[in-house]
Amino acid sequence: MSILLDEKTRVIVQGITGKIGSVQTKWMLDYDTNVVGGVTPGKGGTKVEELPVFDSVEDAVQETGANASVFFVPAAFVLDAFYETIDAGIKLIVVVPEHIPVHDAMKMRDYAIQNNVFALGPTTPGILVPGKGKMGIMPASLFAPGRVGIISRSGTLSYEFAGILSEKNVGQSTVVGMGADPVVLSNLSSILQKFEEDDDTDAVIIVGEVGGEQEERAAEFVEKHMTKPVAAYIAGKYSPKDKRMGHAGAIIRGSAGTVEGKRDILRKAGVEILNSPIDAADWAVRHKLR
Amino acid sequence: MRLHEYEAADIFYKEGIAVPRRGVAETTEGALDIADRIGFPVMLKAQVLVGGRGLAGGIKTATTIDELEVFCGELFDSEIKGLPVKKIMVCGKAEVIRELYVGITVDGFNGKPVIIVSTKGGVSIEETARTNPEKIVSFYVEPGADLHPYQARNMLKGLDMSKRLRLGCSVVIERLYKIFKSHEALIAEINPLAVLSNSGVMALDAVLEIDDSAVSRIQYSGTDLIGRIENPLERKGKEIGVTYVDLDGDIGLISSGAGLGMASMDIIGQRMRPANFLETGGGITDKLLYKCMELLMMKEGLRGIFINIYGGINPIHEGAKGVVRYIQEHNVKIPIVAKALGNRQEETWEIFKSGGVHVVTEAATEKAIDRLFELLSK
């Protein structure tokens, strides 16, 4: 088992005919992901990487039995595509694009919750299950099969942690990018819960960063519900106050969202704090993870 | 994008929220003209986008022409928290009986707009939340929904206010919410909302931050995202399409992600000092990294450069070509260390090496920083 995605998941790619969508479709297929088709309004009937392209998500679901979707749709069209995908009955959505307006993200999150849909992003690298498949843009070479779960707000840092563990022959059960925006479609604690329930995950690393209160709120969940070891790294110790550090969510305002505040709350909840990404290797060895 | 107070005040005024009579001046003479029109005493408020402007000396009260000339002279010559004062808002001084707080923001965790009102104004709402939580009420609005007038009235029930004040305050909340929604704001805030001697309410400050990702689709004429960035290097970064934050160290940084960039800064900061934060996002091309090199080299006294990029969505081999082209065209001599992993990594390493870049192939950023430190210690 893994969380969210396995070899049976039937994935469609929205925006499959675009420059990024088509390249990433190839990488996903190369990683043996069960991609069954794609959607680009107006391009129905064509093919990308020998996969059928449909005009609507409804058509794609009818023809292919798809139950998951990954987005490479331009930011301005994401809200519409998101409503369409949920209305077509898909229950897992990965929203890769960045620069989605926050007011759109709030509506998307609300609609996903109402319809019992699990969604990740915006601004997420997606999900990767080593050896089984990936939805999104994670570069496969850094990952190895194993029993450590990773949840990251940052895409690139999820690769860094997976790479550091893989070099030490510590593999990953599932790697999840939760998205780097101020409003994300699923909160950290709901992903932690999936790892806690997953028989193939022995421990979890949270890769957080300054800004927002995801880590603070997840601490309570860890304390009450997590039986597996949890470690956390929080990026942004030297980030200046009131400056937006690339991620729309990474901004320190007043005393909220600081590295120290997040570390303290997580530490009190029983989470082991990693001062630097490389410390993940020692942590994994100490807990005999593989 | 955070608007200046005078810009936000204009928007508030148009929506029917009372604000002081005001004007914005770029010279002392201009300020004098406005004061002449409004009548003394006047407030002089430096238009710089930093928090704690008042405590940093950016707000003065002038009761005479002489005072105005002295204060304006001082302000126009000064910097507040590193930012030069180019504009001063001159406004009337109100008779204030009491100060309230009204703010609307996005609650990221709950994914909804939240309206926050406090009967303690003039201090930060975070401070009131610590010291007097009983003086705060908050109300969540469903995403995309309008705020009904009754909701604005009812949310104030728990606060110590007269019926008349409650009504006046609820109208301000309603209008501020309209602004928040139509401008796709991340923050719309009035602190303080003053209660005047005639029991009316007036916004004595105006904060409006618009979501950068929504700027292109809202109705507002003043949205020059790039022109309003004060720091020339940060402005150049925005022009070429990257996030650049100017810092005071001497180690240049290019990263392909925000989290990776922040982590790189943390690791550099253990032994050296980062000159900047630079994050490309998913848009790496040959040209973009050439321009990033150009931007980094504009910083004086740079001793070394660290490039930390992943090939997930980014074609890092293309990026490497741009870096090497810049090095060769400009004969760059300072040491450059690159860690580049992911799709087409081997090809990327070869390109970097051809330009004299030191390539580190391990995943941990620490290893690359060790290498840079060694090279600089030679």
Q: Which residues on neighbouring strands pair with residue B253, listed in sequence order?
A: B306
**A54 with A67: CB under 8 angstroms?**
no
Alpha-carbon dihedral sign for residues A251, B81, B209, B147: positive
Chain A partners within 8 Å of B281 (Cβ): 98, 246
Burial state string for B168-204 with b = 16 or more CB within 10 A and e = fewer than 16: bbbbbbbbbbbbbbebbbbbbbbbbbbbeeeeebbbb
Query: The tokens of A221 are what?
Result: 């969940």
Task: Determine, for residues B364 and A24 on separate chains, whether the beta-carbon distance falls below 8 Å.
Answer: no
How far from the centroid of its chain's Cα atoms is residue B144's Cα? 25
Domain A11-120 -> CATH class: alpha beta
Q: Determine, for residues B363 and A167 on separate chains, whether the beta-carbon distance falls below 8 Å.
A: yes
The pLDDT value recorded for residue B167 is 95
Interface residue A114 vs chain B (CB under 8 A): no
CATH of domain B96-217: 3.30.470.20
Instruction: Write out the catalytic residue numbers of A.
Output: 247
- Count other Cβ atoms within 10 Å, centred on residue B278: 25
- A40, A128, A123: which is closest to A77 by C-alpha? A40
Q: For residue A110, which phi and psi values (nearest 5 degrees)?
A: -60, -45
Mean pLDDT of chain B: 94
Which fold is adopted by the domain A139-286? Answer: Rossmann fold (3.40.50)
A288 contacts: CB under 8 Å, gap ≥ 6: none
Per-residue pLDDT, B217: 86
pLDDT single digits (tens) B299-316: 999 999 999 999 988 999
Block residue for tokens 């109705």: B219
- Supply the pLDDT for residue B230: 80
ipTM: 0.92
B55 touches chain A (CB under 8 A): no
Please report the pLDDT score of residue A248 as a whole number: 66
Which chain A residues in 8-67 lie under 8 Å from chain B, judged by CB atoms? 20, 24, 27
Q: Distance between CA A103 and CA A99 in Å, rounded?
A: 11
pLDDT in tens, B58-86: 999 999 999 999 999 999 989 888 888 99
Neighbouring C-beta atoms of residue A201, cutoff 10 Å:
22
**pLDDT at residue B223 is higher than 70:** no
| SS3 per-residue string spanning chain A | CCCCCCCCCCEEEECCCCHHHHHHHHHHHHCCCCEEEEECCCCCCCEECCEEEECCHHHHHHHHCCCEEEECCCHHHHHHHHHHHHHCCCCEEEECCCCCCHHHHHHHHHHHHHCCCEEECCCCCEEEECCCEEEECCCHHHCCEEEEEEEECCHHHHHHHHHHHHHCCCCEEEEEECCCCCCCCCCHHHHHHHHHHCCCCCEEEEEEECCCCHHHHHHHHHHHHCCCCEEEEEECCCCCCCCCCCCCCCCCECCECCHHHHHHHHHHCCCEECCCCCHHHHHHHHCCCC
* Domain residue ranges in chain A: 11-120, 139-286
C-alpha–C-alpha distance, residues B157 and B9, integer Å: 28
Residue B215 has pLDDT above 80, yes or no: yes
Judge contact between B19 and B206, C-beta under 8 A.
Answer: yes
**The dihedral formed by the CA atoms of A228, A234, A235 and A241, expressed in degrees to the nearest 10:** 160
Q: Is the peptide bond before A101 cis (omega within 30 degrees of 0)?
A: no
The nearest CA of chain A is from the CA of B263 a distance in Å of: 5
Using an 8 Å CB-CB cutoff, list chain A residues near B217: 76, 101
B342, A142 Cβ separation under 8 angstroms: yes
Cβ pair A214:B108 closer than 8 A: yes
What are the tokens at A31? 């990683």
Closest CA to A227 of A270, A164, A290, A272: A270
What is the predicted pLDDT for the residue at B98? 95
- In contact, B215 and B229? CB cutoff 8 Å: no
- Among chain B residues, CA nearest to A238: B266
For CA atoms B148, B150, B155, B161, the dihedral sign is positive
Q: Do B211 and A125 touch (CB under 8 A)?
A: no
For chain A, residues with pLDDT lower than 50 are: none
Q: Per the omega criterion (within 30 degrees of 0), is the bond before A122 cis?
A: yes
- Chain A residue numbers with beta carbons less than 8 Å from the beta carbon of B279 are 245-246
Dihedral of alpha carbons B207, B211, B217, B222, sign: positive
CA–CA distance, B255 with B23 (Å, rounded to integer): 43
- How far away is chain A from the Cα of B269, in angstroms, using its nearest Cα? 7
Which pLDDT does position A238 carry in this prediction?
Answer: 87
User: Coil, helix or strand for B128?
Assistant: helix
Mean pLDDT of B184-204: 94
CATH code of the region B232-377: 3.40.50.261
Fold observed for domain B21-92:
Dna Ligase; domain 1 (3.30.1490)
Domain boundaries, chain B: 21-92, 96-217, 232-377
B128-134 long-range contacts, CB within 8 A, separation 24+ = B128/B101
Q: How far is CA B162 from CA A170, A264, B139, in A?
A: 65, 42, 20
Would the CB atoms of B365 and A160 count as touching at under 8 Å?
yes
Whose tokens are 């003209």? That residue is B33
Confidence class for position B237, pLDDT limits 50, 70, 90: very high
DSSP secondary structure, B4-17, as one string: PHHHHHHHHHHTT-
**Per-residue confidence at B219, pLDDT binned at 50, 70, 90?**
confident
pLDDT score at A111 = 98
Question: In the prediction, which pLDDT does A245 show?
Answer: 76
Of A92, A123, A117, residue with least CA distance to A3: A92
Distances, alpha carbon B368 to alpha carbons A214, A278, B257, B293, B363, in Å:
30, 12, 17, 18, 9
pLDDT at A252: 65
The answer to whether A11-120 and A139-286 have equal CATH topology is: yes
Contact by Cβ (8 Å): B289, B328: no
Which residue in A101, A164, A247 is closest to B364 by CB distance? Answer: A164
Q: Tell me which chain B residues have a C-beta less than 8 angstroms from the C-beta of A31.
A: none
Are the beta carbons of B366 and A277 separated by less than 8 Å?
yes
Of residues B223 and B339, the one with the higher pLDDT is B339
Q: Are A82 and A96 in contact, with CB atoms under 8 Å apart?
A: no
The CA distances from residue A102 to A1, A108, A265, B106, B226, in Å, are 34, 10, 27, 8, 20
How far is it, in rounded angstroms, from Cα A52 to Cα A133? Answer: 19
Query: Which residues of A are less than 8 Å from B341 in CB distance?
Result: 139, 141-142, 159, 163
